[in-house]
Amino acid sequence: MKKYFAFYLLLILFFSSSFKVEAQYIAVMGALEQEIDLLLGEMEKQKKIQIGGIDFYKGKINGKKVVVLKAGVGKVNASYSTAVLTQNFGIDALIFTGVAGGLHPESLPGDIIIGDRLFQHDFGKFDQEGFEVTTYRELTGAHQTDLFIPSDSILVFKSKQAAQQVAFNALSGRNPNVFTGLIATGDMFVSSPEKAQWLFGEYGALAAEMEGAAVGHICRTLDIPFVVIRSCSDNANHDARVNFEQFVGPASINSSRLVLSILEDW
């Protein structure tokens, strides 16, 4: 009897591991509930699985096999969620969707930023000369990475194409602009015109947010194509907190609409 038990156990393990490899998903991640709500509403055959304290929603959106999750706010939550996701699902590609503080002088709430590169603006050294952003080491080796983490160029291209077909909410009295460029990630909600000006002036960053570069860093290490899509909820200035509260919902919808369009064209 014991012999058969071991045999069946091996059989189950073999099949469960091969299912894992076969099932390839497009992962869609947001930090907040509002950032994934629309996508969950569009999901067919939805199935919820909880792993490591995270709710994963598997199903189909626009006919594509997806897993959607809320990562939580900040780089630690984003890294943890990406690690649990990638260790438990076969992931073909990852799209991060959500809101950000717009840094470009012409950006307004509702505008879209497609992140073609990301960096951690709060990672660096601090001495008598002040703070300096520095490169960091690869997860798997001793090599210094570049300061900027590139998104997958094909996904960036697909995002730009898809954006042309989306009817975005006009939150600021004009049709939203679609920018492509650098996103600055840090463990802080920026509501300082000086910090916003530093990020734009020094680095050319178009948006400040709190998760993208962390997710990107892990995806690069694991060779998973990724892109970060953001819609501006605020301008990272003195009004940022109030604007965020007002626009987090409708800006999240703009970002989600772009994700839906990307999935449609996939």
199 binds ligand ADE (CB under 6 A): no
Answer yes or no: 265 catalytic.
no
Our CB check for ligand ADE shows the closer of 200 and 244 to be 244
Q: 3-state secondary structure string, the chain? A: CHHHHHHHHHHHHHHHHHHHHHCEEEEEEECCHHHHHHHHHCCEEEEEEEECCEEEEEEEECCEEEEEEECCCCHHHHHHHHHHHHHHCEEEEEEEEEEEEECCCCCCCCCEEEEEEEEECCCEEEECCEEEECCCECCCCCCECCCCEECCHHHHHHHHHHHCCCCCCCCCCCCCCEEEEEEEECCCCCCCHHHHHHHHHHHCCCEEECCHHHHHHHHHHHCCCEEEEEEEEECCCCCHHHHHHHHHHHHHHHHHHHHHHHHHHC
Q: Is 100 in the site for ligand ADE (CB under 6 A)?
A: yes
Q: Tell me the Ramachandran region of residue 30: left when phi exceeds 0, alpha when psi lies from -120 to 50, beta otherwise.
A: beta
Q: How far is the CB of 142 from ligand ADE (least distance, A)?
A: 31
**Residue 208 touching ligand ADE (CB under 6 A):** yes
Residue nearest to ligand ADE (CB): 101
Among positions 39, 91, 234, 250, the unique one binding ligand ADE when judged by CB under 6 A: 234
Catalytic residue, from 187, 209, 234, 245: name it.
234
- Catalytic-role residue among 35, 116, 152, 209: 35
Q: Is 190 near ligand ADE (CB under 6 A)?
A: yes
In 10 A of CB 143, how many CB atoms?
Answer: 8
- Is residue 211 near ligand ADE by the rule CB under 6 A? no
For ligand ADE, which stretch binds (CB under 6 A), given 8-16, 110-118, 144-152, 207-215?
Answer: 207-215
Per rule CB under 6 A, is residue 244 in the interface with ligand ADE? yes
Q: Is 101 in the site for ligand ADE (CB under 6 A)?
A: yes
For position 36 contacting ligand ADE by CB under 6 A, the verdict is: no
Instruction: Give 23 or 242: the residue with its C-beta nearer to ligand ADE.
Output: 242
The distance of closest approach from Cβ of residue 235 to ligand ADE in the complex, given in angstroms and rounded to an integer, is 8
If binding is defined by CB under 6 A, does position 69 make contact with ligand ADE?
no
Task: Confirm or reject binding of residue 233 to ligand ADE (CB under 6 A).
Answer: yes
Residues of this chain that bind ligand ADE (CB under 6 A): 99-101, 189-191, 208-210, 233-234, 236, 240, 244
Catalytic residues, by residue number, are 35, 234
